[in-house]
Amino acid sequence: MNKQQFWQLIEAARHQASNPNDGEAVAREATLLLASRPVEEIVAAERVLWDLMVDSYSNPLWAAAYIAHGGCSDDGFDYFRGWLIAQGREVFERVVADPDALAELPIVQASAADGVDLEGEDMLGIAWNAHISATGDQLPASLPTVPHRELDPTWNFDFDDHEEMTRRLPRLAALYPE
């Protein structure tokens, strides 16, 4: 499974999900779809998923998650990126390129108004769960580890500094006032 096929899988899962904005619902459908694929594709999907996690590992995006959640731990950032992947390729690529673009998404606007976090922890386990469902076994232990990219040092400031966050992510900060 390559990146294009992975995104097609996510789109199909979004179409089948009861709520395509719900990362957990999309994860359930993606797991079911993936479990019906050949084992080699399931293993390859795990690699693609973690490549996307690496692609989205940036402190501007972490700052956006921090604003949206009122704080964001390492695990919280992973779950946020899982949710972002569940939103599909177009949203993922747009928000990774411009984290302030989150503010334009109706689901983010509704979540801000309702005080709901943007989390998709189950997305991180779709290949793992699909592999267990398809084979009864865990994913091979030989899968490579996921390296993190270096974070941008110009974003090395206190994310609790509302003024600085507003300067850097103005549209998103407006959705989540102090």
Contacts of 19 (CB under 8 A, 6+ apart): 25
Percent of the chain with pLDDT over 90: 89
Q: Per residue in 64-114, pLDDT tens?
A: 999 999 999 999 999 999 999 999 999 999 999 999 999 999 999 999 999
Q: Per residue in 126-150, pLDDT tens?
A: 999 999 999 999 988 776 566 777 8
pLDDT of residue 47 exceeding 80, the answer is yes
pLDDT of residue 4 exceeding 70, the answer is yes
> What pTM does this model have?
0.95
Closest CA to 26 of 115, 119, 133, 135: 119
Q: Looking at residue 71, what is its pLDDT?
A: 95
Q: Looking at residue 145, what is its pLDDT?
A: 65
Q: What is the DSSP string of 65-100?
A: HHHHHTS--HHHHHHHHHHHHHT-HHHHHHHHH-GG
pLDDT of residue 35 exceeding 90, the answer is yes
Lowest mean pLDDT among 4-18, 29-43, 145-159: 145-159
Q: Looking at residue 139, what is its pLDDT?
A: 87
